[in-house]
A and B are shown apart, each in its own frame.
Chain A
Amino acid sequence: MTTMHSANGLAGTQPTAKLCVNGAVLVADISGALYWPAQEALLVADLHLEKGSAYARWGQMLPPYDTCTTLNNLESVLARFRPRRLIALGDSFHDRTAAERVAPSERARIRSMTEALDWIWIAGNHDPEPPADWGGRVEPEITLGALVLRHEAIESHVAGEISGHYHPKASVRVRNKRISARCFIDDGRRLVLPAFGAYAGGLSVLDPALRGLFSREFQVHLLGRERLYRYPSHALVL
């Protein structure tokens, strides 16, 4: 299993998997973040901060701990990779007023991260501009080396695109049990990250909307509890 071992001690003992998109060598992390060693950049997609309170607003009292959980996960992955730059691939906030609902202590945590790093907010379809005092800069999309980083994949784009938006998940059958998990999906030319947010749901990679973006043969890296697992497209079930 060549893609499954730790990437040169980069992330200590944490499990990762090495990928290659348009020639760029990338490291998929079990947290759902993607690390790009050559650029010292860490990518996360679809944080969906304050999704819990977005539901609570309408009377569905989801536990108010999703922002906190997401930030915990983010801080721990940053501590492991120590990147120079962080790129949030859009849908960082669950809705238009999400930023206002973020608790002051959590706002402070975000600010200390944006101050320490070259922080880029890519605009997503849910996102308003983050408040000015939060730090970081906002971009519709950016090009780095051989890759374009944007929120939502563009079908006509041929090679070297990294995006989020779809919250990919995939299912496999083992011993007659169906197992689903969030996953990275790529075909060597394009990659979609799993959602990083604690409450973000998922869309099957076999859904035409997602599958249609990739060549006939693609691969996924499922996020297990302990490791990532690579499966080729033909081994997936709905």
Chain B
Amino acid sequence: MSEAAPCPESLPDAGPLPEAFRRWFDRRGWRPHAHQLAMLEAAEAGESALLIAPTGGGKTLAGFLPSLAQLAEHRQDGLHTVYVSPLKALTQDIHRNLTEPLEQIGLDIACETRTGDTPQSKRLRQRRRPPQILLTTPESLALLLSYHDAPEVFARVACVVVDELHALAGTKRGDLLALGLARLQSLSPACRRVGLSATVREPEELRAWLSPTGRAKDAPVRLIRGGAKVDPQVEILTTREYLPWSGHMAIHALPEVYERIRKAGTTLVFVNTRAQAELVFQGLWHLNEAGLPIALHHGSLAVEQRRKVEAAMARGELKAVVATSSLDLGIDWAAVDLVVQMGAPKGVSRLLQRIGRANHRLDAPSRALLVPGNRFEVLECRAALEGVRAHSLDGDPPRPGGLDVLAQHVMGMACAGPFDSDELYREIRRAAPYADLPRKDFEDALAFVAHGGYALGVYERFRRLRQDAEGKWRVTHPRHIQRYRMNMGTIVEAPTLKVRMGRRRILGEVEEYFVQALQPGDTFVFAGQLLRFDGIRETFCEVSRGGEGEPKVPAYVGGRLPLSTHLAERVRGILEDPACWRDLPPAVAEWLAIQRWRSLLPNRNGLLVETFPRGDNEFLVAYCFEGRNAHQTLGMLLTRRMERAGLQPLGFVATDYVLAVWSLKAVKDPDRLFDEDMLGDDLEEWMAESSMLRRTFRNVAVIAGLIDRRAPGQEKTGRQVTFSADLIYDVLRKHEPEHILLRATRADAAGGLTDIRRLADMLARVKGRIRHRALERVSPLAVPVLLEIGREQVYGEALDELLDEGAQALIEEATARTDQAELPI
């Protein structure tokens, strides 16, 4: 942990640093960073503080220093500081890294972790005799606050430290934490809050999040900036190989990447999906004649496996790790001196976060190499590089907190003890995501928790909460408390199966739907190995080594992030301005030049739409640059419209950059087709039926406490599945479309995924600015998307169309007449 500046730095005045600490810094030849001292000053003034600093700035120590200093001077028994991290593993690392200075400075301060992995006995003891410093996660904190003894446990908490705040704010876990902190503040009104964050676009939003009143202007939250790092050196790989037209894996460049790994000290190879991680890892080992120690790290691998890789990395034993976002956050590895991004980065902030994992010293630049997977990705990498140079980050505006999380919190608070609804409402509004929560939404959440909140009120006698004589709300039965504890949390995972080799060895988890498509004997790549699928047994996917045939690669729902709005804008800017093309690889510059000659180039504010015939079909290609998800939705809406217009659409395919639709008849008037009113009834109708909304409803229902999480093995033991979220959704939608859970679902789907908003913004922007080119044949810029056809193309999600297609195919197969001439008789 490079927690302080090893070299002399202009030191203000070591004023607030206690003597024992100063000596400790001296002994190590360190001097405290200016921002570390500023954090001490904020603490002395009793103010909350938001520290924004790049990785490697001694951020964590800066967060803890004030608490350590306070505890060193005035010993206080009981909980003094709560540290919250989004990662369980991070709490362990922080624990290790705190223990060292504590011992060396000679401080007798108890510091413990508490997560889902903490044994029951220790958890019980922690409530009775809490340590002075507790390192925990948002979920574990919420649980602690739901016990009746929370007022005693948290009574004297002086400080809460929220690490990686940028990764929590704006998510449902962030909502849960904000609500928990609001309660904690009521229990210990003098508590200060400290937020640690990577560089963000809008620090004001994080200040508001951190504020004990939920609003930045009402309470002082001091903004402290850590020393800015030297600008990173980012380079785009100009491949010697042929630059592919399509695909995202960037496998073509692996020999060159391998060369860079050889030459560097330690390399982090970041990829965008777990499937890509497996392929890149395989590819690198295929080339690995020197036998370099290269490891694999992604979220589906068994925890022990991941911990092993992290530990080997920390010891400096690895030459490279191929990783997904599973390593975006986490403990510093000083030794990493090169970060490789395989495939397009999708966002500037994300790229900066990843680059920040290299070279954790403020005085030396991080080195990064971007490896685009295709021609469009070259443009995207170029745009991202400019974004990094300009320090312009992407970020979505804050969204209101989820109503499902609110319902969960209300239940949690009821578990802690009887509450007054006015008081709870006021307390909840002090959490930033709920600062503007209307009373009606609160009352609806409360009604949902109490009795389901249905218009009929038929569940009166089954109430979970009831008002007592004083008007306070109480839980009616201990089983409701038990169910809350079993089901709380905001992370709802897709159902997975454990991958097991032999009787004991667990390699990790794959999503159930992937396994369901496998036949025994099929092979797939997982955890860097070629595995043979043997079958499903209970909740295990049983495999053995080896096998034959073309292996499949597990895909995961939601594995791919869409292109950020900010980056999309930059890409359009590059396309518009040929002066920017000089730096592009010749193949790409030439590609754009031919496009300009044959058709038009997309520009910043308009929308280029090309139509052309190809084979028996008429194609329409729209250069929207709004990300895959938004394009998927647009494709769905456009095909509906075209259907009604009698154009007989046959299918569409969406990439991050463009949308292509094909039909039997040609589109003549794109202006009408792209009219803004597209987002009206069609969208409503499609959304209601879409599987995306159904999935969202399921998650909302689990978080709000309507549906229990699946306990492992539970679903395989019962003969009949209990009930499905789909059926509940259909019935509720019909009878009570304004129920709070449906409102929460729609808010998630429309606002949370931001894609609908992006679409709406785009349609408004391009109104009257559609530039239509009716071409005789495919344009150069349209080639990549046409190559995607067949690879990932879906027409609608309509159950009936697919069922019919499957049934027809079988009939054709069965009735196909054998050609006598081909028979050997």
Contacts and interface: CB of A to CB of B under 8 A. Distances in A.
B458 A103 contact: yes
B807 A69 contact: no
A235 to B, nearest CB: 6
A178 B513 contact: yes
Given A59-B483, A201-B720, A65 B803 contact: no
B800 A59 contact: no
A199 B456 contact: no
Contacts of B678: none
Contact of B452 (A63, A171, A199): A63
Contact of B735 (A1, A68, A178, A231): A68
B590 interface: no
B810 A56 contact: no
A145 B503 CA distance: 53
Contacts of A103: 458
A237 B516 contact: yes
A31 interface: no
Interface residue tally on B, bucketed by range:
35 or more
A51 interface: yes
Nearest to B452: A61
B452 A64 contact: yes
Interface stretch (B173-181, B341-349, B724-732): B724-732
Would you call the interface of chain B mostly helix, strand, loop, or mixed? helix
A151 interface: no
Nearest to B458: A64
Contact of B802 (A68, A179, A203): A179
A59 B464 contact: yes
Interface in B503-560: 513, 516-517, 536
Given A64-B459, A65-B735, A201-B722, A235 B516 contact: no
A15 to B, nearest CB: 10
Contacts of B734: 65, 69
B802 A209 contact: no
Nearest to B477: A59
Contact of A174 (B458, B459, B721, B805): B805
A230 interface: yes
B804 A229 contact: yes
Interface string A164-179: 0011000111111111
B723 interface: yes
Q: Most chain-A Cβ atoms within 10 A of its Cβ — which of B708, B800, B803?
A: B803
B727 A1 contact: no
Contacts of A51: 723
A62 B739 contact: no
Contact of A203 (B464, B719, B739): B719
Nearest to A238: B516
B806 interface: yes
B706 A225 contact: no
Given A227-B804, A237-B516, A60 B708 contact: yes
A202 B536 CA distance: 19
A229 B803 contact: yes
A64 B731 CA distance: 9
Q: Most chain-B Cβ atoms within 10 A of its Cβ — which of A65, A69, A178, A227?
A: A65
Given A59-B477, A61-B706, A235 B810 contact: yes
B720 A229 contact: no
B711 interface: no
B516 A178 contact: yes
A61 B448 contact: yes
Contact of A201 (B483, B724, B799, B811): B724
Nearest to B482: A59
B591 interface: no
Interface in B448-501: 448, 451-454, 456, 458-459, 462, 464, 477, 479-480, 483
Given A65-B736, A172-B806, A179-B802, 11 more contacts: A1-B807, A63-B739, A173-B806, A179-B803, A199-B727, A199-B728, A200-B723, A201-B724, A202-B721, A224-B799, A227-B804
25 contacts: A1-B811, A51-B723, A53-B458, A60-B708, A61-B452, A61-B459, A62-B706, A62-B728, A63-B732, A64-B456, A65-B734, A65-B736, A69-B734, A69-B735, A171-B516, A174-B802, A174-B803, A175-B802, A181-B799, A198-B730, A199-B731, A203-B719, A203-B720, A209-B719, A227-B800
Interface of B: 448, 451-454, 456, 458-459, 462, 464, 477, 479-480, 483, 513, 516-517, 536, 706-708, 719-724, 727-728, 730-732, 734-736, 739, 794, 798-800, 802-811
